[in-house]
Structure 1
Amino acid sequence: MASRAIWKGQIRLSLVSIPVEIHSARNSGGRVSFRQIHQPSGKPVHYQKVVQGVGPVEGDDILKGYETDDGEYILLDPDEIDAIKLETKKTLELVQFVDAKEIAPIWFDRPYYVVPTDELAEDAYRVVRDALRQSGKAGLGQLTMRGKEYLCALRPCGDGLLLETLHYKEDIRDADPLFSSIEDEETDKELLEVATQLIDKKTAPFDASAFEDHYAAALKDLINRKMKSKKTPRARTKDDDGRPEAENVVDLMDALKKSLKEGKSSRSGATARSGAGSGGTRRKKAS
């Protein structure tokens, strides 16, 4: 399936602007996923937005609320939030460069592939890629997507560029309260030497393909075995619109079907004497 861009805009480096698209680097379809099924009916379980004392509500009636210190909510319409003008909605400006190794792993959030939008943008794209590669630097900037402004790091990745969203400082918990109780004593030299030798023995170039998700493999094996067994419980359901059916809708449909059957029964005598009428009934049912 073709990848769909989740952000379109430009990378700006000083006076140079490069039109680009950003695509998720994560393969969400590579893992086993489940739907929750209501066992008695065999139908998928849905979730509704419910207000206490009101019941299910429509999405159009929902606003965003910011809770104040006195327990009140400041209500904001989605259009008011969308109207906030941020240059980072369409532009990722590289405002600083740091050594790529200087960014500790704890700061990284999600990876994205960055590609030029057309052939005209490729020349400038390659220049930025090669300059970052040669210097060993990562470019820092900010962009807005999916309703949030992200801090980002841009660095080379194979023939292209990789953008990684970073956590802001306030997103990361201080480690000192957790690590402060660990005594900082000198390590036994003999034990340290043995541990270092063991690390050296097991050192090899990183290759993600050498590791298998054993849990996912076991799940797939379980599913395959269950599919082959005739004793496995099964549920067959048609989920057309992705929304739960209200009880009154079910009752109304049942009543209409019963009314339709009664109407056909009362006309069955006249229909049997008229070939045209019989054909008309069949055509209507087929449609």
Structure 2
Amino acid sequence: MAARAYWQGQIRLALVSIPVEIYAATKSGASISFRQIHEPSGKPIKYEKVVQGIGPVDREEIVKGYELSKGNFVLLDDEEIEAVKIESRKTLELVQFVDQHEIDVFYFEKPYYVVPADDLADEAFIVLREALRKSRKIALGQLSVRGREQLVSLRPCGKGIVLETLRYADEVRQAQSYFSEIPDEKPSEDLLDLATTLIDKKSAPFEPEEFRDRYVEALKALVEKKAKAKGKKVLEDVEEPSTDRGSNVIDLMAALKKSVGNSDTAPAKPAKKAPTKKTTAKKAPAKATASKTKAASSSGRARKSA
């Protein structure tokens, strides 16, 4: 494989060891980053390490510090921090299996592809994959990488296995502190039926390529235009979605009925372009013809009455 392995070692289940390689399943998006520039000279701005009341300091004089209280730090040097790092191990021990629905979505952090390291590992790898699939379980273990221990899960994915790093319990905020003020009540059946009908009409298989980051695309286009404009200001007109909510009193039933009535049977595609002026222009002659026909008919009735 062209990509560099994130981790190489073996998955161990009891007395069975499976040599594997782990590769990142995602990559950073094509985002645009900016640097601060000194406009008169056109040169990038650099930052100095400074101490209040002292000024710039040498890099050798800098150590890490943990703030116990306001202005009170415990100082640690690199050797002390290095000494407590977890020794990197080449074995991922599967210590527990849980049902697929037991892990809430906000614990999952980043996915990786797990593949057999060589042909000799294929058989044991396939047995583990199919056993997880048949039991509908997720395997849990702790992976030691770069001095830290990461909680990970493994689940079957097509012909392979996906490993996902998980957040620890103290890294997840409890939902109750945010949801406690939401009323604990059930909606009416009529409202619920209309909402589910709307959901059914807009349901479709997930196609990630249909979605694009329009902000990044607009930024790229702006950078290209700015480069060609030779320093001139380039402003883009961006169509913003309507924020007019009308009355503060929302007729939810009417809004849902209107939404169901206006929605097509096929799900709407994201980022769909609006009709062009050319299409509108084609409809104009039809209106003119209709007006002429109506005028001729009125004239005929007038002559007949006379």
Name the residue aligned to 1:15.
15
Aligned-partner residue type, residue 7 of structure 2: W
Contact persistence 2:22–2:112 (CA under 8 A): yes
Residue 178 of structure 1 is matched in structure 2 by 178
Q: What SS does the aligned partner of 1:12 have?
A: strand
What residue number does 1:125 align with?
A: 125
Q: What's the counterpart of residue 93 of structure 1?
A: 93
1:52-131 mapped onto 2 (5 Å cutoff): 52=52, 53=54, 55-58=56-59, 61-68=61-68, 72-84=72-84, 86=86, 89-131=89-131
TM-score, structure 1 as length reference: 0.70
Which whole-Å deviations, capped at 9, do the CAs of 1:57-103 have from their partners, x for residues lacking one?
A: 32x55433333459643333333333346466433211111122322
- The CA distance in 1 between the partners of 2:43 and 2:231, in whole Å, is 19
Change (3 A) 1:20 1:55: farther
**Which stretch of structure 1 is more off in the superposition, 60-69 or 201-210?**
60-69
Question: Helix, strand or coil for the counterpart of 2:215?
Answer: helix
CA contact (8 A) 1:50 1:57 kept: no
* Deviant stretches of 4+, over 4 Å: 69-72
The DSSP-based 3-state class of the residue aligned with 2:41 is coil
Deviation for aligned residue 1:21? 3.0
State the match for 2:251 in structure 1. Answer: none
Q: Which residue of the partner structure matches residue 32 of structure 1?
A: 32
- Given the superposition, is the C-alpha separation of residues 19 and 100 from structure 1 closer, same or farther in structure 2, using an over 3 Å criterion? same
Relative to the length of structure 2, the TM-score reads: 0.66
Structure 1 residues 50 and 163: CA distance shift in structure 2, 3 A: farther
Distance apart, 1:193 and its partner CA: 0.6
Compared CA separation, residues 146 and 62, structure 1 to 2 (3 A): farther
Distance in 2, matches of 1:223 and 1:107, equals 37
- Supply the distance in 2 between the matched residues of 1:146 and 1:5 (Cα, whole angstroms): 14
Q: Which amino acid aligns with 1:158?
A: G
Decide whether aligned partners of structure 1 residues 11 and 225 sit closer, same or farther in structure 2, where only a CA change above 3 A counts: same
CA distance in structure 2 between the partners assigned to 1:86 and 1:106 by the alignment: 26
Question: How far apart are 1:194 and its partner, in Å?
Answer: 0.2
Look up the equivalent residue of 1:104 and give its one-letter code. Answer: D
Q: Indicate the RMSD between aligned Cα atoms, in angstroms.
A: 2.7
Distance 2:170 2:88 in 1: 20
Q: In structure 2, do the counterparts of structure 1 residues 197 and 89 end up closer, same or farther at CA, with 3 Å as the change threshold? A: same
Distance 1:117 1:36 in 2: 45
Match of 1:257 in 2: none
Q: Report the alpha carbon displacement of residue 226 of structure 1 after superposing the two structures with TM.
A: 2.3
**2:48 and 2:56 in contact (8 A); partners too:** no
Looking at structure 2, the residues matched to 36 and 115 of structure 1 have their Cα atoms a distance apart, in angstroms, of: 43
Cα distance, 1:49–1:199 mapped onto 2, change above 3 Å = same
Displacement after TM superposition at 1:192 (Å): 0.7
Native 8 Å contact 1:88 1:142 kept in 2: no
Secondary structure at the aligned position of 2:221 is classed as: helix
Q: Could you tell me how far apart the structure 1 residues matched to 2:203 and 2:58 are?
A: 57
Q: Deviations over 1:25-83 (max 9, x none)?
A: 2212533333333323322333444444252332x554333334596433333333333
**Gap runs ≥5 in structure 1:** 234-287
Report the 3-state secondary structure (helix = DSSP H, G, I; strand = E; otherwise coil) of the residue aligned with 1:95: strand
Structure 2: tracts of 5 or more residues without a match? 234-306
% identity of equivalent residues = 56
The whole-number CA distance in structure 2 between the counterparts of 1:48 and 1:127 is 56
Q: Which residue of 1 aligns with 2:189?
A: 189
The range that moved more, 72-81 or 195-204, is 72-81
Number of corresponding residues: 232
What's the secondary structure of 1:161's corresponding residue?
strand
